[in-house]
Amino acid sequence: MTFARKVWHLLVGIKDGLALLFLLLFFGALYAVLMSRPSPGQVREGALLLKLDGTVVEEPEAADGFSALLGGSLPTKQYRARDLVRALDAATTDDKVKAVVLDLSRFTGGGLVHMEEIGAALDRVKAAKKPVLTYAFGYADDGVMLAAHSSEVWVDPMGGAFILGPGGQNMYYAKLLERFKITPHVYKVGTYKDYVEPYVRNDMSAPAREARSAVLGALFDSWKADVKKARPKANLDLVTKDPAGWYKAAAGDGAQAALNAGLVDKVGDRVAFGKHVAELVGEDKLDEKPGAFAHSTLKAFLAKHEAETKGKTIAVVTIAGEIVDGKAGPGKAGGDRIADLLDGKDTKDIKALVIRIDSPGGSVTASERIRTAIERQKAKGIPVVVSMANVAASGGYWVSTPGTRVFAEPGTVTGSIGIFAVVNSYEKALAGYGVTSDGVRTTPLSGQPDVFGGFTPEVEALLQSSIERGYQRFIGLVGKARGKTPEQVDAIAQGRVWDGGTARQLGLVDQFGSLDDALNYAAAQAKLESGDWHASYLGQKESGYSSLFERMTDDEDSSPPEEGDIFAMLNHRQQSMVERALTQASHLLGASGMQVYCLECPAPNAPQAKLTKPAGWLGWAYEVGLLSPS
């Protein structure tokens, strides 16, 4: 029996060992497949398909897989603008690319500067004698802008197009706070610093209306000029000045209305569009679905056309999204994270530094932490150049002050040089329930700031004085950077935002130019010849978990569900307004220090709208009922 027992234990051990080995091999193989990069060999002769199922941003947010899986929904995809431009430029010379196809069926937009950059890249594709064909169920402002740069624009017979233009309503909470007897203590400097207005007013102030009207008017003029130049036959006046009459003339047919206004060229569904593309680039031999055409995906194409890494290094540090304390990001500009990038080993042997900014600002302390880290690099004697994208305002301008040269675009929103803080107290609310406070103070500041018993006049004066000191520091930094006195800066500051063209006239930026222009200028300042340097984008490496999650949920070749009719499209857009209002409310209730933040600036990263049914293997999980949409 003893011998038999030993043999049995041996067999069980062998079985367990083999089971463990096979499990390790299985998960190792699965990990290898999911972590593998797209192969350049996957680039096929046909079209370069850019299926933009999401938003275009300067810096994509890190994928939060656990939240998505637990919540039963996935965030909308984000596409780095720079990657799209690189792919389009590579398509101009790649013989395998016969045409570029844009699928904007689930495109949720991006910033004006990014749209202009991508539009210019599409123009270069057309100049290389390669057609650009665009399809969508429906087009909104940013989709209209990209489609304008196409050779041919299709819309679904059940779809349409509309132009809303920038602007809209803000929520104001003064009466709500009064009703609940919450006292907002607002400390600010800047006549135009309207971030605090929703907490102390019931409507927009005259200075805020003046500043916002000027900026939004300039942005809309830039948008219209770009669209009109790319698509002269588009009747923008008809669409923007009399939208009701425009739709009525087409008997409410959105697709026909878009055709009548010259926004699209042809009306047809996805299958008809695909068959038309197949006539130009060839049919897809691997896909028998109606309308399939030979194509390469964005990821495979980028894998084939990798960025150059030869020569000396010019580092690029991206400051995108709200500037916050800590290590948040990518997609948010965590002050500690970005400072660590600037002070890390990757900047040890760089020849120049370019700061790419797409941020409406945020925390004063985080902005200062980033600024001082940039100053440490500048102290090494290397050129430091700033490149502004869609937004570089408030804290976004604070971090630009170490730059020896500042590049922006006419559509950039910048300025908003002001500072504020908001602290709530609840003494009136508590008194309504019979709760009062009393005690002994040894100084006027004892127990202050007291959010339950109220603030003393002394603490109110102290906090306002601190804000005023912060403002003086802000305009002092700007004055030193721009060669102006504090008084001269104050005259153009006061929290007012400016479009890029006006900011250039005021001396807040030096010249118009893209990120490439800033890189070339930095290279020239570092005395580097063309071909002797490359740009290194710090902090851009994906974590293994992020890459794994994206591969598990990604299916670039699947056809997305259509957006729905015009009501669905408008509701999708309004969802972002709800999320903006919730964010604003959370700022009111949240604990934060002094802020250099711009309320009126367009959000650099679109809200993370959710897909009710994800692609890939999670889509299968939805089908069989393992997951349910939220």
Catalytic residues: 193, 394
Phi, psi (deg, nearest 5) at residue 99: -165, 160
Would you say 615 and 555 are in contact if contact means Cβ atoms under 8 Å apart? Answer: yes
- The long-range contacts involving 375-379, CB below 8 angstroms and separated by at least 24 positions, are 375/402, 376/342, 376/343, 377/342, 377/347, 377/350, 377/353, 378/353, 378/402, 378/404
Q: Are strands 497-499 and 413-415 parallel, antiparallel or unpaired?
A: antiparallel
Burial 287-322 (b: 16+ CB within 10 A, else e): eeeebbbbbbbbbbbbbbbeeeeeebbbbbbbbbbb
Q: Show Cβ contacts of residue 529 under 8 Å, excluding neighbours closer than 6 positions.
A: none
> What does the DSSP 8-state code read for residue 345?
G
**CA–CA separation, 277 vs 291, rounded Å?**
8
In the block, residue with structure tokens 């669409």: 239
- Given 3-state DSSP classes, what are the helix, strand and coil percentages for the chain, each rounded to the nearest 5? 45, 20, 35
Q: What radius of gyration do the chain's Cα atoms show? A: 28
Q: How far is CA 492 from CA 286, 389, 505, in A?
A: 61, 21, 11
**CB 139, CB 254: distance < 8 Å:** no
End-to-end, the C-alpha distance of the chain in Å comes to: 59
Token readout for 470 is: 């912060």
DSSP characters for 372-383? HHHHHHHTTT--
3-class state of residue 159 by DSSP: strand
Q: Any idea how long the chain is? A: 630
Q: Which two tokens stand for residue 517?
A: 């222009």
Whole-angstrom distance, CA of residue 549 vs CA of residue 61: 13
List phi, psi (to 5°) of 136.
-160, 155
- Any long-range contacts for 525-530 (C-beta under 8 Å, 24+ apart)? 525/352, 525/383, 525/385, 525/404, 525/405, 526/312, 526/314, 526/351, 526/352, 526/382, 526/383, 528/311, 528/312, 528/314, 528/351, 528/352
Parallel, antiparallel or unpaired: strands 132-139 and 97-103:
parallel
